[in-house]
Amino acid sequence: MAVNGPCKAAIIGAVLALTGGPVQAQVTQGAPLSAIGWLSDSVALPPPSIDSAVLPPDPNEPDVTTGASVAQVTMSLLETPVLDAVGLLSSATTGFSRDLWGSSRPDDLARRITDMPLYLYPAMQDLLNTLLLAELNPPKGARTGDDRLFMARVDRLLSIGALDQAEALLNRAGTSNPRVFRRGFDTALLLGTEDRFCEILTNSPDLSPTFTARVFCLARSGEWDAAVLTLETGRALGYISDFEDALLARFLDPELFEGEPPLRRPHDLTPLTFRMFEAIGEHIPTGNLPLAFAQADLRANIGWKARAEAAERLARVGAATPNQLLGLYTERRPAASGGIWDRMQSVRRLEQSLSSGNEAALSASLTTLWPQIEDAALEVPFARLFGERLMSQIPQHPDARDVALSLGLLSSKSEEFAAAWPTRSTGKEALLTAIALGNTEDASGYNATSRAVVEGMNAQDVPVRLKSLMESNRMGEAILRAITLYENGTHGNLDEIADALAFFRQIGLERIARQAALEVLILERRG
């Protein structure tokens, strides 16, 4: 429908009166929204610039600087908020110096974080999460208003579904930055806490909500007439697509569409679209969606099996706690067999056998459970639940003993478990217990991977490829580089495993080095 100038002005004036804010230009169609493709376009962003973008990786860029030029000195007012300094964990908690980022450039750090594989070994995931949540001084190369590193940290947390941690970081960053607000709004949508952000949109003239977000928030606050008028305005001005029009119309009055075929789900699903589909009674399963959407399936209004499956997905990357997973596993009796139902039943039997002290039952439950949790990549969450309890109930059956040793050494009490292990035989068992105790000087490997592990654990100096970063005051960047080396090493580049382990030990991350060495030998994942 064509709209002439006076009529358009009248419509916009009515929307202004009802929504309390200007209707500003929407995001240019096709413009990049963020590093994460599924974020909603809830607010209009300033045009992207070279300075604000996370630069793509340069395969030819060396890790070593070739010059000795003095970095540009920048100054800013003390009261100016610096997003890169926002964190949740103090130096006393992490053990890291506040100047860990040192002289690194924000885009280098952001690129290293962005390029990390989604699924890391648990030890590396724990270490990376600590860096993402740490309270650290901004890198010396940062400028006032530079948010590249902060956004990369938040986006990494969002990509693995760690929404609670991302939300806490975003809350500390405030809501005046449109990029921060967008991430906060989408996080709240998936957690079911979006009302606060809708109120902020209404009361913050500096934020420019898109028509879709404005209609959603007006409806959430009960202002149905204003929501309908805003939808009609956006439709008339061409700011709402045909799909958004159909979805918003159903969202505002689902009874009008009873008996009609369901809407076709979009390929690029956003949290806002996801929640509106849910509101019209068309819940979208999250199994094939990005991990962040799995958090929405942990809510109490979702079915038990879907909640448990979501918890499994999140537990693999450390975004759900082992106790959360166990609580869902044992919430009720398994209703069927196969897949997650078998894992639930095996966990129940393991709990019962541990409580009964029946060694035969314990051996049977351990040997049944291990291949099931191995197939689901859930060895570490269950090791953290049961490993310590096995310390006083080590079974005699050889296969069950192997499982008990693996669970014990993958737990948070690996050193204590190794010290309590009754025998010191040769081969894999001897090496694993030696690693857990930190006594690898006389250890020998039993295959290529274990020999690389022994080499790294016994190294006496920082590897050359990481020393240059340390010497140029880029310790945090060196840690990020070491995480990547370790992960690359698990795909066959064994010298990189050795270098990563050697680096962690030499800089004092002994616990991380031991845990990483044990995981690569016990989990033996490839790809």
| Residue 71, pLDDT score | 42
Residue 89 has phi, psi (to 5 degrees) of -110, 125
- Domain coverage including residue 518: 448-522
| 3-state class (DSSP) for residue 209 | strand
Contact 135, 98 (CB under 8 A): yes
* Total-model pTM: 0.87
Task: Kindly state the tokens that stand for 201.
Answer: 């949109």
The sign of the dihedral angle between the CA atoms of 382, 385, 390, 395 is: negative
Contact 367, 397 (CB under 8 A): yes
Is there a domain that residue 479 lies in?
A: yes
DSSP assignments along 221-239, one per residue: TT-HHHHHHHHHHHHHHT-
Residue 492 has phi, psi (to 5 degrees) of 125, -15
Q: Is 298 exposed, middle or buried (0-12, 13-18, 19+ CB in 10 A)?
A: buried
Distance CA 378, CA 447 (A): 25
pLDDT tens-place values along the chain, 527 residues long: 344 444 444 444 444 433 444 444 333 333 333 468 898 888 877 665 434 444 444 444 445 444 444 444 444 433 445 899 999 999 999 999 999 999 999 999 999 999 999 999 999 999 999 999 999 999 987 776 788 999 999 999 999 999 999 999 999 998 888 999 999 999 999 999 999 999 998 888 778 889 999 999 999 999 999 999 999 999 999 999 999 999 999 999 988 888 888 899 888 899 999 999 999 999 999 999 999 999 999 999 899 999 999 999 999 999 999 999 999 999 999 989 999 999 999 999 999 999 998 999 999 999 999 999 999 999 999 999 999 999 989 999 999 999 999 999 999 999 999 999 887 666 899 999 999 999 999 999 999 999 999 999 999 999 999 999 999 999 999 999 999 999 999 998 999 999 999 999 999 999 999 999 999 999 987 54
Is there a domain that residue 475 lies in?
A: yes
Is there a domain that residue 182 lies in?
A: no
Task: Please list the alpha-helical segments (H only) found in 3-105.
Answer: 5-19, 91-94
Task: Kindly state the tokens that stand for 263.
Answer: 């809407």
The number of beta carbons lying within 10 Å of the beta carbon of residue 324 is 17
Tokens 């060495």, residue located: 517
SS (H, E, C) 310-377: HHHHHHHCCCCCHHHHHHHHCCCCCCCCCCHHHHHHHHHHHHHHHHHCCHHHHHHHHHHHHHHHHHCC
| 3-state class (DSSP) for residue 134 | strand
Is there a domain that residue 492 lies in?
A: yes
Is there a domain that residue 260 lies in?
A: no
Roughly how many angstroms between the first and final C-alpha of the chain, as a whole number? 53
∠ CA(36), CA(42), CA(46), 5° rounding? 75
List the one residue out of 476, 483, 500 whose CA is nearest residue 87: 476
Task: Kindly state the tokens that stand for 20.
Answer: 């309390």
| Residue 513, pLDDT score | 98
List the one residue out of 440, 516, 515, 508 whose CA is nearest residue 478: 508
Is there a domain that residue 486 lies in?
A: yes
Tokens 């592990």, residue located: 453
DSSP assignments along 67-93, one per residue: --PPPPP----TTS--GGG--SB-HHH
| Residue 21, pLDDT score | 45
Is there a domain that residue 133 lies in?
A: no
89 - beta bridge partners? 134
∠ CA(289), CA(293), CA(296), 5° rounding? 140
List the one residue out of 235, 200, 204, 207 whose CA is nearest residue 221: 200
Is there a domain that residue 516 lies in?
A: yes
Distance CA 323, CA 325 (A): 5
CA distances from 521 to 306, 307, 375, 513 (A): 32, 31, 16, 13
| Residue 425, pLDDT score | 66
Number of domains the chain is built from: 1
Chain-centroid distance of CA 302 in Å reads: 22
The number of beta carbons lying within 10 Å of the beta carbon of residue 376 is 17
Alpha-carbon Rg for the chain in angstroms? 26
CB under 8 Å to 468, separation ≥6 — which residues?
A: 63, 64, 65
